[in-house]
């Protein structure tokens, strides 16, 4: 898949669908030549014009006035040799100098994909699945190397990139900036797509035309955050859900990130992604290597759905490691919105009893089971059961749950500490913060400094004790604030390294626990989807998508999330009406239809439902169990976007054999005398007959796909939905 053309000095990475090409210019500089649909030839360097332009600098010599880095399309560039665009790295050398010059030194092509130490990462099962190109650049004067890693997989439209900094100098070097990737396009005729939002409003799809200048999406909140996903896509302005070119870049990392998109004076576009330099300054000691996180770059010619399906497939197969990655996920009941902190054994037993009757398979005990936790002011850090609420202990509750035929799950927030806790009284210096300065609280809590091994060890051991005493099948791992005052009270760690060391420390704990407890189903959470990133996905196959459980809001949130995240990772719960976050009332049917488009769960007091509603819940669960394989692991296609502001949304799921599909349509606001929507179904076999559940009619696949069907004209009222099963028949 990877070939180096010696004569023309071109690297060609190609599989059946995509090509990525890099050339070596002037024996030294790495130029970006191409990323996109597969190209046949790999001998052509591209005919990028080399012409002199005023105010260009000439790094080769005065004779070669035409060659200037600022006019080249580059792979990974500093800004000290006359490339005046956004730099990929910034190195501070021990003598105080910043100027560097990295030239091509050599390369290696290897089968498979080498492991990245201590970081979440995509992987191969066999070496035949992928090849990796490692290109070494060297600054000979400073004795520092940069290694650019590119992996191409045979079965995906994906290139995975990361970067290493190797210090061969006898002195330390300091990285002020060390991005994972950078890539230039020859034009700027793109729309930029990002997913940004806020708590309870995660991952809104934002699309706008690119303009001259630098556009940035980033996090300065310690972790990836609710506010931006570490993802950008550049798309052709005509790209739709089903057609057109898309270039996606997604970072496999949970800390602060930055993505820069720069359109330069010649309307060329640079796209970059990596660790945010904002709180980052890393010492690479003599002989050491700094490894950046990796980015997953997808090219698709089949629109946004094409890109998403590629991300879903790739993450599902080559990133998520859990033993549950391909298993049907259990229907759960979570007590949070049912009881909040106000529960006792009796209430929980009643909820579990009712859940068992409904067909629920997993009971999750949320916040409030430990220390003296009656509200959010206390006890984080003290992971011992609260006996007044649970006189028979967690073990008693776990046994009760198991006896009812349900699995037992438990909530933790391991990285946090309350001032009112035994752990804080013992170790007030274990919190994240600047020396001799007060740290800000948020939700009455501080963040534990996970860059420190003694802190990690303490929390790990507390969790180990609970896990060895109590049979636990599922854990929800929460993180309920942003980080501020990012410094350490530990004199041995430099402030510029805290955050990345924190994230590496978190990864170490997750690696340990998930290895020690492979049978536990892990779900990540951060006030809902504040840390819903590929880094966490590597360790935990599920995420609580959002604290907003309102079915109408969930259409936006799940639609946006599905751009990059597989459906099997998306927690979606039916909650009470009126909804607790937005006060909206929606029928049980539509609440079910929204939640059934993810990992179905319930988060309400089932005992308070009317008997009709209880029947409805039972039916939903029964239906979902029959169809969840299709929903969780089928091919997901978005059909109508709720972001188009027409108060509608639709999506569908199709199995691999194309014999079964389910389509959901949602109407959030009724419109008098409305126009009709002829919905074109996707992903069926044209010559196969299919039976439609809503009208009992049979159609050929081509009729459904090319002509479409009318399914929503009989919906009357706000917040209505419809589900159609599409089944192949003879």
Which positions touch ligand GLA (CB under 6 A)? Answer: 336, 366-367, 411, 478, 480, 525, 527-528, 544, 547
- The reply to whether 374 belongs to the active site is no
CB of 200: closest distance to ligand GLA in angstroms? 9
Q: Which is nearer to ligand GLA, 373 or 648 (CB)?
A: 373
Q: Which is nearer to ligand GLA, 311 or 532 (CB)?
A: 532
For residue 727, the cross-strand partners are 660, 691
Match 């939002």 to its residue by tokens.
197
Give the total residue count for the chain: 730
What letter would DSSP give residue 328? P
**587, burial (CB in 10 Å: exposed 0-12, middle 13-18, buried 19+):** middle
Q: What tokens does 576 get?
A: 């009470």
Please identify which of the residues 382, 478, 556, 677 carries the catalytic annotation.
478
CB of 349: closest distance to ligand GLA in angstroms? 21
Q: Which is nearer to ligand GLA, 183 or 525 (CB)?
A: 525
Residue of 608, 609, 634 lying closest to 619 (CA atoms): 609
CB of 539: closest distance to ligand GLA in angstroms? 18
Chain centroid to CA 42: 34
Phi, psi of 642 (to 5 degrees): -70, -15
SS3 683: coil
Non-local CB neighbours of 534 within 8 Å, separated by 6+ positions? 120, 230, 250, 251, 252, 253, 296, 315, 319, 564
Q: What tokens does 410 get?
A: 């438990």
CB of 479: closest distance to ligand GLA in angstroms? 9
Q: What tokens does 633 get?
A: 């692991």
For residue 215, the cross-strand partners are 261
CB of 367: closest distance to ligand GLA in angstroms? 3
643 vs 43: CA distance, rounded Å: 44
Q: Which is nearer to ligand GLA, 203 or 312 (CB)?
A: 203
Q: Which is nearer to ligand GLA, 244 or 529 (CB)?
A: 529
Q: Which is nearer to ligand GLA, 600 or 649 (CB)?
A: 600
Respond yes or no on whether the N-terminal peptide bond of residue 552 is cis (omega within 30° of 0): no
Please identify which of the residues 420, 547, 556, 677 carries the catalytic annotation.
547
CB of 647: closest distance to ligand GLA in angstroms? 27
Q: What tokens does 239 get?
A: 């790209």
116 vs 511: CA distance, rounded Å: 13
50 vs 31: CA distance, rounded Å: 12
Q: Which is nearer to ligand GLA, 397 or 639 (CB)?
A: 397
CB of 476: closest distance to ligand GLA in angstroms? 7
130 vs 123: CA distance, rounded Å: 9
Nearest residue to ligand GLA, using CB?
367
Rg (CA), the chain: 27
Q: Which is nearer to ligand GLA, 236 or 376 (CB)?
A: 376
User: With the CA atoms of 126, 127, 130 and 134 taken in that order, what torsion angle do they form, in degrees rounded to the nearest 10?
Assistant: 140
CB of 236: closest distance to ligand GLA in angstroms? 37
- The reply to whether 184 belongs to the active site is no
325 vs 318: CA distance, rounded Å: 10
* Residues 486 and 222 sit within 8 Å (Cβ to Cβ): yes
Sign of torsion, CA 237 241 245 248?
Answer: positive
Residues with catalytic roles: 478, 547
């Amino acid at each position: 898949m990877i070939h180096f053309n010696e004569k023309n000095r071109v690297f060609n990475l190609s599989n059946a669908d995509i090509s990525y090409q890099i050339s070596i210019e002037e024996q030294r500089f790495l130029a970006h030549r191409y990323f996109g649909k597969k190209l046949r030839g790999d001998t052509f360097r591209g005919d990028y014009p080399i012409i002199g332009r005023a105010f260009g600098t000439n790094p080769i010599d005065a004779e070669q006035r035409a060659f200037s880095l600022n006019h080249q399309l580059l792979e990974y560039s500093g800004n000290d040799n006359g490339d005046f665009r956004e730099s990929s790295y910034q190195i501070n050398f021990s003598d105080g100098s910043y100027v560097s010059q990295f030239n091509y030194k050599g390369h290696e092509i290897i089968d498979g994909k080498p492991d990245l130490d201590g970081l979440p990462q995509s992987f191969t099962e066999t070496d035949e699945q992928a090849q990796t190109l490692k290109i070494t650049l060297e600054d000979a004067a400073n004795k520092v190397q940069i290694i650019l890693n590119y992996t191409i997989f045979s079965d995906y439209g994906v290139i995975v990139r990361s970067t290493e900094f190797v210090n061969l100098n006898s002195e330390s070097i300091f990285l002020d900036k060390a991005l994972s990737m950078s890539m230039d396009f020859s034009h700027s005729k793109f729309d930029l797509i990002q997913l940004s939002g806020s708590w309870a409003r995660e991952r809104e799809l934002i699309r706008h035309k690119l303009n001259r200048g630098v556009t940035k999406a980033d996090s300065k909140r310690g972790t990836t955050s609710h506010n931006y996903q570490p993802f950008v896509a550049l798309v052709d302005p005509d790209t739709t859900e089903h057609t057109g070119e898309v270039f996606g870049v997604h970072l496999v990392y949970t800390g602060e990130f930055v993505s820069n998109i720069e359109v330069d004076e010649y309307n060329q576009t640079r796209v970059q992604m990596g660790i945010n330099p904002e709180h980052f300054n890393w010492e690479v000691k003599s002989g050491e290597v700094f490894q950046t996180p990796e980015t997953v770059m997808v090219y698709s010619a089949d629109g946004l759905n094409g890109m998403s399906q590629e991300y879903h497939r790739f993450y599902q197969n080559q990133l998520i490691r859990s033993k549950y990655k391909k298993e049907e996920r259990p229907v759960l009941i979570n007590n949070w919105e049912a009881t909040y902190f106000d529960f006792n054994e009796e209430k929980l037993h009643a909820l579990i009893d009712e859940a068992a009757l409904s067909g629920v398979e997993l009971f999750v005990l949320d916040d409030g089971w430990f220390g003296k936790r009656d509200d959010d002011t206390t006890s984080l850090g003290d992971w011992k059961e609260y006996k007044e609420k649970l006189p028979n202990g967690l073990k008693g509750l776990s046994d009760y749950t198991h006896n009812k035929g349900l699995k037992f799950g438990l909530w933790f927030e391991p990285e946090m500490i309350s001032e009112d806790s035994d752990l804080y009284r013992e170790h007030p210096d274990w919190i994240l913060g600047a020396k001799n300065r007060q740290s800000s609280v948020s939700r009455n809590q501080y963040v534990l400094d996970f860059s420190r091994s003694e802190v990690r060890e303490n929390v790990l051991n507390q969790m180990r004790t609970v896990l060895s005493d109590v049979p636990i099948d599922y854990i929800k791992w929460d993180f309920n604030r942003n980080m501020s005052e990012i410094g350490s009270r530990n004199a041995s760690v430099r402030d510029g390294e805290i955050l990345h060391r924190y994230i590496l420390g978190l990864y170490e704990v997750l690696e340990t626990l998930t290895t020690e407890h492979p049978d536990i189903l892990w779900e990540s959470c951060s006030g809902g989807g504040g840390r819903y990133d590929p880094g966490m996905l590597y360790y935990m196959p599920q995420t609580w998508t959002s604290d907003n459980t309102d079915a109408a809001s969930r259409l936006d949130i799940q639609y946006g999330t599905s751009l990059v995240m597989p459906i099997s990772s998306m927690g979606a719960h039916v909650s009470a009406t009126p909804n607790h976050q937005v006060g909206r009332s929606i029928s049980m049917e539509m609440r079910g239809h929204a939640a059934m488009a993810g990992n179905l769960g319930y988060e309400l007091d089932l005992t308070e439902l009317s008997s009709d509603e209880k029947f409805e819940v039972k039916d939903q669960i029964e239906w979902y169990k029959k169809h969840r394989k299709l929903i969780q692991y089928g091919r997901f296609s978005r059909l109508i976007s709720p972001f188009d502001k027409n108060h509608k949304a639709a999506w569908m799921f199709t199995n691999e054999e194309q014999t079964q599909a389910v389509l959901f349509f949602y109407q959030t606001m009724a419109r008098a005398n409305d126009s009709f929507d002829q919905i074109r179904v996707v992903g069926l076999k044209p010559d196969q007959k299919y039976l439609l559940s809503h009208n009992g009619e049979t159609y050929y696949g081509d009729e459904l796909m090319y002509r479409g069907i009318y399914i929503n004209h009989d919906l009357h009222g706000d917040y209505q939905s419809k589900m159609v099963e599409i089944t192949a028949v003879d």
